[in-house]
Structure 1
Amino acid sequence: MKTKIDEVPEAQNPEIHENIKVTEPKEWAAGVTAVWAAFKDVLEEESPARGMKALLHMNQKGGFDCSSCAWPDPDDDRSPIAEYCENGAKALAWEATNKKLTANFFAKHSVYELSQMDDLEMGKKGRLAEPVYLPKGGTHYQPISWDDAFKLIARHLNDLKSPDEAAFYTSGRTSNEASFLYQLFVREYGTNNMPDCSNMCHESTSVGLADAIGIGKGTVTLNDFYDTDVIIIIGQNPGTNHPRMLSALEKAKKNGSKIIAINPLREAGLLAFKNPQTVKGIFGMSTQLADLYLQVRINGDMALLKAMELLLYEAELENPGTVFDHQFIQKKTSGYLDFINSLHHYNAADLAKDAGVALDDVQQAVDMIKHKKRIIICWAMGVTQHVNGVATVKEIVNLTLLKGSIGKPGAGLCPVRGHSNVQGNRTMLIWDKPKPEQLDKLKEVFGFEPPRGKGLDVVESIKAMHEGKLKVFFGMGGNFLSATPDTVYTADALRKLKLSVQVSTKLNRSHLVHGEEALILPTLSRSDKDVSGGMEQIVSCENSMGVLQLSKGVLDPISDNLKSETVIVCELAKATLGSRSVVDWDKYASNYDHVRDAIEKVIPGFKDYNKRIREHGGFYLPNAPREGRFDNKAHHNKAIFTVSPVPSHALADDEYRMTTIRSHDQFNTTIYGNEDRYRGIHNGRRVIFMNPVDIARAGLKDGDEVDLFNYFNGIERVAHMFRIVAYNIPERDTATYYPEANVLIPIDSVAEQSNTPTSKLVVIKIRKHRA
C-alpha cells in the first residue's frame, strides 16, 4: 500500500463495530477462570518459558515490581507461586514477549498504515527494539543511532527561545531513580513543565488530602485491612483495576469486617470473590464481599456522604458522645462547628434522592458505622475525575474525622492509586507546582538555581501546544494521546509541535500522531535485566501505601539496543546541557546507588536509602497522619473540616450522564484483549451500557448501533458506532470504555483546584447510527 504524505494518521481506534457478543454479567470475580486467563497470554507468546520465569519473580522480595497497579505487596509472607493477579500476568506477557520491532518493520509499514490498526493489534506486534526517527514530511519511521537521537533532541531544546517552550511528561511506570534524575535534568534545563499521569487520575486526591490533613497520600497500611470493622469502597472497581485487593478484602471479611460498596454499576469484584489460591475458590465457592451495595448515580457521592453525616449527627444528638469522637475532634481538628452548621441546610431524604439511593439504605450504612471507629475508606477515579473531585475527597475526610478514624490501627484513608509508581513519581519531585523548600534543597545539594515559576500540567500543556506555545514534547513512557481528554483536540495540538519524543517499550497511538519530527526511543521494561556500568542495577518503586521496595529484572533484554530510562535521562542531559551542567551524569548512569545517595540528601524520609531498599520488603516512608499527627502548619497542625456544596445533576430531556471505565482486558490505555467477562462483553469494546428504562424511553433497543455526542461550550464532539447494552445502571446514567470515548471528554471540563479532566461525568446525547 503506497502512502501519500497528506494522509493523516488516525488519532482514535478505528471505528469498527466488532461482532460483539453479550452474556449475563458475573456475580463474582477471579476463580479458576482468572488463573487460565492469566497464563493464556503468557503461553501465547513465542517464548512461554521466558514469561513463566519472569512470573516466578514478579512481586517477590528481591524480584521485580509488577508494572501494572500500585496495590501493595504483603509485608510478611508472599505466595511463592503467584504473588500477582490476572492483569499483572497479562502486563508481564505484554512486555516479556520476544517479538520485536526493528527498522525493517517500520520500513514496511507507514505511519498511516499503522494508525489503521486498533490498539490491541498494535500492542501485539512486539517490543520496540531500536531507536527510530520520522523526519519532517516523512511517511515511515527510519533507524537512527542513539547518539544522533540525543543530538537531535538537544538541538531542538537548545534552539528554543525559552525552556518553557518544552514539556516533559512522565508515566507511572518510571522508577524512582529515573524520575528523580528526570526532574533534575528538566529543572537544570530551566522549566517546571512536568505534566504527569497524576494530573489525569489522583491529582484531586493529592490536592484534597494535602489541604485537609497535610499530606497528599493515604494513611493506612495493608495490615490495617486485616484489623478493621468497616471498609467503605467508593468509586473503585477492585476486581478489574486492583485485583490483588480482593485477597485483602477476603481476609478482612474472615476477620469480621463489613464492607459497604458505593458505585453506579454493579461490579463483580465488589460482590463476591472466588480465591483461586484456596481449595474453596478452586471448587467454585466464593466469599461475599459487599454487605451493602449503594448504587449511587454518577457523581452522587457528595450527596450520599452528606446524607450519612447528617444521619450520624442526628444519632449523636440522640445519644451524645456515642457516635462522634469528640476528644479527637477537639484535639486534632479545626472547623468542626462551621461544618456542623452547614449540615443544617440539608434534609437527609433530599440528599438521598439526589444521590439516587433509598433513604433506608443510607440509614443502613449509617447503622453499620455509627458505633465503629476502625473504619477505612477507599476510593479511586470514580471520585476524583469530577468537577467537584477535590471537594468529594475532602468530604471523605470529613466523615473520617467525625469518627476519629485516622491515626489508629484498622482505620484511615486509602486512595487506591493506579499505575505502579505514580505515587513515587510525585515523591521524586515530578510536579509542575514544586514547593519552595523542595527547590531550595535542590539548589543546596546540586548548586544550580532551579526555576521558581509554576509549570504546565497535562491539560495546560495540551492547550499550550494547541496555541503554538510549546514546541517540544518529551514523553517518558505512557500513551499520552490515548490517555488524555478531547482526542481530536489533543491530536491537533500534538501535530503543531516541532518535535515529539516518546520513550516506550511497545508501539502505541502516541507514536503515530506526532510533531513535525518524531523520535521513538526504546527502553527496558521492569522485567528486563538492567546492566549499566558493567553491573546489574536495581531500581525502586513506591506503592499506594507509601512502601519503598526494590525492583530487579530477571530477563535478558530482547535487543542490545535498549537503554534504561535512567541512562536515557543521563545521556539526554549530557547532550543538551553539555558543559553548562553542574551534575555528574556519568556517575549516576554507571551506578544507581549514587542516584539514591542524591535522593537521600534532597527528599525527607530516605535516610540510609541504599541499605533499607535492599532489606526484604523495603521500608515505609514517614506518614504523620498515620501516627495521629497533622503537619498542616497553615491550620496549626490540625486536620481540617471543610464545607462544600452538593453538585447539581440537571439534564435536558435528551441528555445522559456518561462515565468512562476500563474493561477487564486492559490496564490504563493498554488493551490486552477484547473480553470483559465480568460485565458479559465479548469480542469488542464499542459498547454503551444503559438502563433498560432509558433505552425504551428513547425509542431504542438493546443491541442498536448509536453515535454519542457532547456539546460542551457549543463544540460538537462525536464518538461513532457504539452498541447499546442493557445494564444494571441508574437511570440517565451510561458507561463506555476509554480510550474509545475520550473524544467526548471536553478539554475545558476539569476538576476545580486539581485541573483533572472530568472523565467520570460527561453529558452526552445518543442518536441512532447512520452508515
Structure 2
Amino acid sequence: MSSKRIAVYTKPAGGLDALKASLAAMQEQNIVAKGFATMRNANQPEGFDCPGCAWPDRNHHSSFEFCENGVKAVAAEATAHRVTREFFARHTVNALMQQDDYTLESHGRLTEPMRYDAASDRYVPISWPEAFATVAQHLNALPDPDQAVFYTSGRTSNEAAFLYQLFIREFGTNNLPDCSNMCHEPSGAGMKPQIGVGKGTVTLDDFTRADAIFIFGQNPGTNHPRMLAELRDAARRGCRIVVFNPLKERGLERFSDPKNPLELMGGETKLASHYYQPAIGGDLAVAKGIIKAVLEAGAEDVPFIAEHCEGFGDFRSNVLAENWSAIEASSGLTHAQIQEAAQIYMQSRATIVTWGMGITQHKHSVATIQMLVNLLLVRGNIGKPGAGACPVRGHSNVQGDRTMGIYEKPSDAFLDKLGAAFDFEPPRKHGFDVVAAIEAMLAGNAKVFFAMGGNFAAATPDTERTWDALRACDLTVHVTTKLNRSHLVHGKAALILPCLGRTEIDMQASGPQGVTVEDSMSMVHISQGMNPPASPDLMSEPAIVAHLAAATLPQSKTRWLWLIEDYRRIRDRIEAVVDGFMHFNERLRAPGGFYLGNSARERRWVTANGRASFMTHALPIIPKSDFRLMTVRSHDQYNTTVYGLDDRYRGVYGHRRVCFINREDLARQGLKAGEWVDITSVWDDGERTAKRFLLVEYDIPDGCLASYFPETNALVPLGAFADEARTPASKSVPVRLSRSAELA
C-alpha cells in the first residue's frame, strides 16, 4: 500500500498503471497464479460474470473481457485469506468495530455460519439447520409479516432474486428494499411514465453508430472502466464525446488501452472533445438550456414529435420562456458554453445520452432525468440506430434483480402471475424502500432485518440513525462472502450466513449449476464458477433462500428444495412469471445470452396514452449554503467495498478522509491545502458533523466539494431524498467547513 501523499497524476486512465494495479491486487490476495487462471474465465460464454459492474461484454470470445476494477473484485472474492471460527475467537465485535473498512474486507472469505454471542461479544459457530431454524422462529413470532425487512444487493443472481422475492411474498410482505433505492431509482421513476420503460434504450452496437455521446454525472474510469474502450473507439472514429461533470475526471479526459501493446508504450486517446463543469445539481438547467437553444434554432424533429409525442406545445412554451440568466445561474455554465454544446447536439445525426449517480442522487433527480429524456425526444434520438438513453447502473445484476421482482411496489400484473404460478395470494400492500425501512426500524415497527448481500450499514445515509435502527432489531441476518461493517452493527441477535461467490463451483443434486444476470443493456447471460468453494461449509444463495423458505413456511405449496436441485427448474418458473423470458433455458445456450428487448427502442410507447411525453419542469431552487458536497468513490473501491487506500487518478495515495476543494474557495475560507477540517451538514432536524478531513486542492467549481463515501454518509440526512423516488440526496449535501480540533 502506498505511503500517505497527494501527488498530481499526469498519465491517462488505464495503461501500464492499470496492469500494475491488477497484479498488485492479486499479490495482496496471495492468488497470482490462481488469479490469472480465474480471470481468463471472466465474462466468457462458459465462464463467470464479473462480480463488479453491470457494463455489457463486447466480445464474448475475447480472452480479455475485464478491467482493473474487475480484477480487484475477482481477487477479493478468490482470495486465499480466510475468516474462520478461530479468527472470531480472537476478536470481539467491539474490537473489530475499531478497524477501518479496508482492513475488515482484507481479512478474507468467511467459512461457516456464525451467530452473535452477547455474553462474549463474539461471533461463534452455528450449524446451517440451527441458523435456518433461528430465522424461521423469529419471523414466525412476528405479529405482522410487515415487521420484517428483506434487503437485496445488486450482486444477487436472477435465480436467487426470484426465489427470494417469492419466499418473502409467500411469507406475506412486500418489504423488499434494495440497492436500487439508493442509486438508480430515479431513472426508472422518471423514464417509465415518460417513455414506458425504466431501462436504457441502447445496446453496445449503438456506441459504434453514434455521432455524439453526451455524458452526465458519470465517472466510468473508476465505476465501469470497460466503458472506456467503447468511448475510445467512438472518439477515434470521430464521435464527439461531450462531458458534464463538476469534477475533472481523468477517465473522461484521456485513456490508454491496457490490452493494446502500442498504447502501453506511451500512446493514448483523447476522450472528451468538450468537457463542461456545471455546478453540483446544475444538470437539469444544462439540459433545459440545450433544448432552448435547439428550439430557438428551429432544429427540433417535427415529424417524430408529431407522430410519437404529446405535451410538446406546453413544454416548448415553458422552455422558450426561460430566462438565459436563470439558466446560467442554475447550471453554473455560461450561455456560450451551453450554446456550444447545443451546436454539437444539433449537428449530430444520432446521439446517446448517458448518466450515472451524479444525476440520480439529488432532490430533483427525477425531473433532471426527464429533462435528459426531453433532450433526446426533441430531436428524435430514441428508437433509431446510434441514439438513445443509457443510464449506467453499478452492481452486476442490480437491473436483473428488479426484473425478477425485487421491488417494494410490484405491479398487480406481476403479482397476479406470481400467485397463479405458485398457488397463493401475494400481498398487495406496498412495502418499505430503504429510507422507510430505516424509519420503521427506528420506530420499532420492523423487528427483523435480513440482507441478501451488500453492506447496508455502510451504504445507507445518516449513519448514526441507520446504526441505531439496526441495533434496535431483534434479529439481523446477512448473507455474504466477506466480513463487513454491517455484521458488526447488529441486532439483539445476529447471524452471518456465508455464501458461494460468483467465481466458485455451485454443486447441487443434478451437478454443477450456472446462474444468470442481466447487464445494463438488458442482455441476459449465464455465469458458471470454476474455482473450488472457499470452504465446504458454504451454500449458494438460491440454496440459502430455499432452505430458509422450507424452514419458515412448512405449509407452502412450493417445492423449495426440489427447485434448487437443478436451477433450470427455477428458470422454468421465471419463464412462467416474468415477461420476456420465454424459452429461457434454450436461449441461454447462445454465446452471450439473449436480449430482453425494449419497447421504447422500437418506438412502442407503453405509457398511459401510448405516446412518449415531454415533461415540463421548472429550474430547481437550491437552498443557499457555504458549499454543496457530493459523495464519490475512490478508484480503489467499488460501492462500499474498499480494495485499497489510493485514488490514483485524483492523485490521492494512502488517504480516504479527504475533501476536494478549489483554490479560490480555499482562499475565501482562509484555508490551505493540506489542512484538516471538519465537515458539518445542516438540516431541519439539526446538524451532523464528520471530523478530520484533509483538504485537497482540485479542479471543481466554486462552492462545490467532493469527498468519499461511506465516510461522508453520516452527513446525508435521512429526510433528504429525491422527489418521487426517495433516493438519498448524497450528491448535493449543504455543508460548511471548520478547522479540525483533532490531531491529524
Aligned-pair CA distance for 1:27: 5.7
Contact 1:26 1:677 in 2 (8 A): no
Question: Equivalences for 1:259-658 in 2 at 5 Å?
Answer: 259-316=241-298, 323-578=299-554, 580-632=555-607, 634-635=608-609, 637-652=610-625, 655-658=626-629
Kindly indicate whether residue 237 of structure 2 is the aligned counterpart of residue 255 of structure 1.
yes
Instruction: State how far apart, in whole Å, the 2-side matches of 1:22 and 1:370 are.
Output: 41
Instruction: State how far apart, in whole Å, the 1-side matches of 2:232 and 2:410 are.
Output: 40
Question: Equivalences for 1:712-723 in 2 at 5 Å?
Answer: 712-723=683-694
Contact 1:423 1:542 in 2 (8 A): yes
Aligned-pair CA distance for 1:581: 0.4
Q: Identify if the C-alpha distance between structure 1 residues 77 and 59 changes in structure 2 by more than 3 Å, giving closer, same or farther.
A: closer
Partner of 2:16: 32
Kindly indicate whether residue 711 of structure 2 is the aligned counterpart of residue 727 of structure 1.
no
2:171 to 189, 194, 205: 189
Instruction: State how far apart, in whole Å, the 2-side matches of 1:131 and 1:382 are.
Output: 38
Instruction: State how far apart, in whole Å, the 1-side matches of 2:581 and 2:643 are.
Output: 36
Instruction: State how far apart, in whole Å, the 1-side matches of 2:707 and 2:218 are.
Output: 16
Kindly indicate whether residue 95 of structure 2 is the aligned counterpart of residue 113 of structure 1.
yes
Secondary structure in 2 matching 1:718: strand
Partner of 1:226: 208
What TM-score, normalized by structure 2, do the two folds share?
0.98
After superposition, what is the alpha-carbon deviation per residue over 1:409-465, rounded to whole angstroms, capped at 9, x for unaligned?
100000000000000000000000000000000111111000000000000000000
1:171 to 153, 173, 179: 153
Partner of 1:8: none
Q: Which runs of 5+ in 1 are unaligned?
A: 1-17, 317-322
Contact 1:385 1:756 in 2 (8 A): yes
Secondary structure in 2 matching 1:453: coil
State the AA in 2 paired with 1:645. A
Q: Which runs of 5+ in 2 are unaligned?
A: none
Aligned-pair CA distance for 1:344: 3.0
Q: Identify if the C-alpha distance between structure 1 residues 27 and 357 changes in structure 2 by more than 3 Å, giving closer, same or farther.
A: farther
State the AA in 2 paired with 1:685. R
After superposition, what is the alpha-carbon deviation per residue over 1:639-692, rounded to whole angstroms, capped at 9, x for unaligned?
11001111123424xx21000000000000000001101000000110000111
Aligned-pair CA distance for 1:138: 4.5
Aligned-pair CA distance for 1:324: 1.3
1:752 to 718, 723, 731: 723
Instruction: State how far apart, in whole Å, the 2-side matches of 1:375 and 1:19 are.
Output: 44
Partner of 2:222: 240
After superposition, what is the alpha-carbon deviation per residue over 1:529-576, rounded to whole angstroms, capped at 9, x for unaligned?
000115000000000000000000000011000000000000000000
State the AA in 2 paired with 1:65. D
Instruction: State how far apart, in whole Å, the 2-side matches of 1:137 and 1:374 are.
Output: 65
After superposition, what is the alpha-carbon deviation per residue over 1:486-544, rounded to whole angstroms, capped at 9, x for unaligned?
00010001000000000000000000001000000000000010001150000000000
Partner of 2:43: 59
Q: Identify if the C-alpha distance between structure 1 residues 300 and 589 changes in structure 2 by more than 3 Å, giving closer, same or farther.
A: same
Aligned-pair CA distance for 1:631: 1.2
Kindly indicate whether residue 54 of structure 2 is the aligned counterpart of residue 79 of structure 1.
no
Contact 1:503 1:520 in 2 (8 A): yes
Partner of 1:701: 672
Instruction: State how far apart, in whole Å, the 1-side matches of 2:118 and 2:428 are.
Output: 34
Instruction: State how far apart, in whole Å, the 1-side matches of 2:659 and 2:476 are.
Output: 34
Aligned-pair CA distance for 1:372: 2.4
State the AA in 2 paired with 1:306. K
Partner of 1:5: none
354-363 or 505-514, which moves further after superposition?
A: 354-363
Contact 2:201 2:382 in 1 (8 A): yes
Structure 1 outlier segments of 4+, above 6 Å: none
State the AA in 1 paired with 2:422. F
Instruction: State how far apart, in whole Å, the 1-side matches of 2:97 and 2:361 are.
Output: 29
Contact 2:52 2:69 in 1 (8 A): yes
State the AA in 2 paired with 1:688. C
Secondary structure in 2 matching 1:600: helix
Partner of 2:34: 50
Instruction: State how far apart, in whole Å, the 1-side matches of 2:216 and 2:319 are.
Output: 21
Instruction: State how far apart, in whole Å, the 2-side matches of 1:516 and 1:714 are.
Output: 28
Kindly indicate whether residue 721 of structure 2 is the aligned counterpart of residue 737 of structure 1.
no
1:681 to 634, 640, 652: 652
Instruction: State how far apart, in whole Å, the 2-side matches of 1:199 and 1:336 are.
Output: 31
Instruction: State how far apart, in whole Å, the 1-side matches of 2:80 and 2:145 are.
Output: 39
After superposition, what is the alpha-carbon deviation per residue over 1:33-70, rounded to whole angstroms, capped at 9, x for unaligned?
10111121112323322222111100111110001000
Secondary structure in 2 matching 1:403: coil
Q: CA RMSD in A?
A: 1.1
Instruction: State how far apart, in whole Å, the 1-side matches of 2:348 and 2:269 are.
Output: 23
Contact 2:220 2:251 in 1 (8 A): yes
State the AA in 1 paired with 2:738. R
After superposition, what is the alpha-carbon deviation per residue over 1:292-312, rounded to whole angstroms, capped at 9, x for unaligned?
111001001011111111111
Contact 2:397 2:519 in 1 (8 A): yes
Instruction: State how far apart, in whole Å, the 1-side matches of 2:396 and 2:164 are.
Output: 18
Contact 1:400 1:412 in 2 (8 A): yes
Instruction: State how far apart, in whole Å, the 2-side matches of 1:350 and 1:147 are.
Output: 63
Q: Identity of paired residues, percent?
A: 47
Question: Equivalences for 1:664-679 in 2 at 5 Å?
Answer: 664-679=635-650
Partner of 1:70: 54
Instruction: State how far apart, in whole Å, the 2-side matches of 1:279 and 1:511 are.
Output: 44
Contact 2:295 2:320 in 1 (8 A): no
Instruction: State how far apart, in whole Å, the 2-side matches of 1:337 and 1:373 are.
Output: 24
Secondary structure in 1 matching 2:604: coil
Secondary structure in 1 matching 2:564: helix
Question: Equivalences for 1:136-155 in 2 at 5 Å?
Answer: 136-155=118-137
Aligned-pair CA distance for 1:406: 0.6
State the AA in 1 paired with 2:300. F
Secondary structure in 2 matching 1:141: strand
Q: Identify if the C-alpha distance between structure 1 residues 27 and 350 changes in structure 2 by more than 3 Å, giving closer, same or farther.
A: farther
Question: Equivalences for 1:198-209 in 2 at 5 Å?
Answer: 198-209=180-191
State the AA in 2 paired with 1:57. N
1:96 to 71, 78, 87: 78
Instruction: State how far apart, in whole Å, the 1-side matches of 2:529 and 2:462 are.
Output: 36
State the AA in 2 paired with 1:188. E
Contact 2:510 2:566 in 1 (8 A): no
Instruction: State how far apart, in whole Å, the 2-side matches of 1:700 and 1:737 are.
Output: 20
Contact 1:353 1:359 in 2 (8 A): no
What TM-score, normalized by structure 1, do the two folds share?
0.95
Aligned-pair CA distance for 1:482: 0.2
Contact 1:26 1:679 in 2 (8 A): no
